[in-house]
A and B are shown apart, each in its own frame.
Chain A
Amino acid sequence: MTKPGEFYQRDRTWHPPAFAKDYKTSVARSPQYSLISLQNSVSEITGPVFGHNDIDALDNDMIHNYAQPGEAAIGERIIVHGRVLDENGKPVPNTLVEAWQANAGGRYRHKKDTYLAPIDPNFGGCGRTLTDENGYYFFRTVKPGAYPWRNWVNDWRPAHIHMSIFGTAFAQRLITQCYFEGDPLIDKCPIVKTIPDKAAQGQLVAALDMNASVPLDSIAYKFDIILRGRRSTLFENRLEGN
């Protein structure tokens, strides 16, 4: 039995801490004891495997995946694309990427969202896709609107798309949010600012990518996602990981 090649220790100073006083909901929802650090066992180096039978080809097109035939979601047409890589820079192929977002007016299709902005009858607000063999993914969608939320009385979320990524192992499981270059609300957002490091915050801001835009159709934003890297078991009898 070889020992599994472990994932690199997660840099908890790069991630937001559980307790962030200015994001008020975190106060009663943050564990107070230290996490117990585990070396990876088979339970952590494995994770669910998905295939093309699990999803539909149109699932990554939020402009159309909830629209009536011949209709389309209202809003600024965008492409969000990028690669899923690990910390070694190696692509993560065939991994599930899921996304959800508000519509162009800043309203979610969720029964708990009661914001004034109307529901778009042709926009569901969720999508999913598998990365290709190079770790590449894309979504077609409309740019989500900013919206107010109850934290301080006048807090507004910057436009964002929630992203969920699996990788190859439960140790790589990640949910994050993708913001958009140039949005002045990013620097004011208490949720963005749960991340202590400005450079780490910047890692969540997708860059306007004119080269990937489709002229007369959609503009593009590039959002690469980095998952934990894994070390090789160089001193054992079987190479694993990178």
Chain B
Amino acid sequence: MVQPLNYLKETPSQTAGPYVHIGLAPGAAGFDIYDQELGWDIAGPNAKGERIRVEGIVIDGTGSPIKDVMLEAWQANSEGNYAHPEGGGNVEDGFRGWGRVITDFETGEWGFDTVKPGRTQGRNIGLQAPHINLWIVARGINIGLNTRLYFDDEAQANAEDPVLNIIEWERRRATLLAKRSERDGQVVYRFEIRLQGQDETVFFDI
């Protein structure tokens, strides 16, 4: 016999199901119940740095867009600080760095407006490249999927990023790079997430 450790077990995950929108993004889904919808404004009005738009789609193993997915974004401000007591430093008033986005129910396309994050402290030494942490839930996804969106115009920072560098297969690192373009004077990054196949997006166990 040994002494029991008495740790509790984490509550098991269950799928968010097809109606996650009424629970977590009711306003975006056309359901007017709360005075304040959480997560619609990631950066707030006072955030410094480059204003960007991020757009994408989540594609299943059959090649079809997932039209009932919900994503949450978590990111640092342009100086690399998260809005959290352990986040590295101060952030602008109104900057939360967290957002929720649901898709167009007809096309599966999603998008959000934010500021481009700065480099953040790495776990040990050095800096992480600018990135947005994403968490993806939907019907058929039994436990939320964690991934990171990096920026394809940050070649030097990406080459030094400790997380990208632990991905053994170099060609898989490209699945985490959002592609920069400009449209009507606005910077748009495109990020397509593939749940299966040769180009399956890298997902992390964080």
- Which residues of A line the B interface, CB within 8 A? 1, 3-4, 8, 10-12, 14-18, 20, 23, 25-33, 35-50, 54-56, 59, 65-66, 85-89, 96, 98-100, 108-113, 124-126, 128, 162, 164-165, 168, 170-171, 173-177, 191-192, 194-195, 200-201, 203-204, 225-229, 240
Contact = CB atoms under 8 A, between A and B. Distances in A.
A165 B141 CA distance: 17
Given A10-B10, A23-B140, A203-B11, A43 B74 contact: yes
B195 A31 contact: yes
A240 B97 CA distance: 23
B183 interface: no
Closest 3 CB pairs of A and B: A100-B23, A25-B140, A48-B98
B55 interface: no
Contacts of A27: 61, 140
Nearest to B169: A33
A176 B9 CA distance: 14
B72 to A, nearest CB: 7
A29 B61 contact: yes
Among A28, A50, A109, A191, chain B packs the most CB atoms within 10 A around the CB of: A28
Main secondary structure of the interface of B (DSSP, over half): loop
B88 interface: yes
A200 B14 CA distance: 11
Nearest to B21: A110
A204 B172 CA distance: 36
Given A66-B33, A100-B20, A113-B19, A89 B11 contact: no
Interface of B: 6-24, 26, 29-31, 33-36, 38, 60-62, 64, 66, 68, 72, 74, 76, 82-88, 96-98, 105, 120-124, 128, 131, 133, 135, 137-146, 148, 162-163, 166-167, 172, 195-196, 200-206
A12 to B, nearest CB: 7
B86 to A, nearest CB: 6
B98 A204 contact: no
10 contacts: A15-B12, A18-B145, A38-B204, A49-B83, A111-B30, A124-B22, A126-B33, A162-B19, A176-B11, A226-B9
A29 B195 contact: yes
A66 B201 CA distance: 40
Given A36-B205, A109-B31, A227-B11, A125 B82 contact: no
Given A23-B140, A44-B206, A55-B36, A203 B12 contact: yes
Contacts of A16: 12-14, 142-143
A146 B33 CA distance: 23
A227 to B, nearest CB: 7
Contacts of B8: 85-89, 226, 229
Among B7, B148, B206, chain A packs the most CB atoms within 10 A around the CB of: B206
A110 B22 CA distance: 7
Contact of B206 (A29, A165, A170): A170
Contacts of B38: 50, 54, 96
Contacts of A66: 33
A175 B178 CA distance: 27
Contacts of A98: 23-24
Contact of A11 (B9, B22, B172): B9
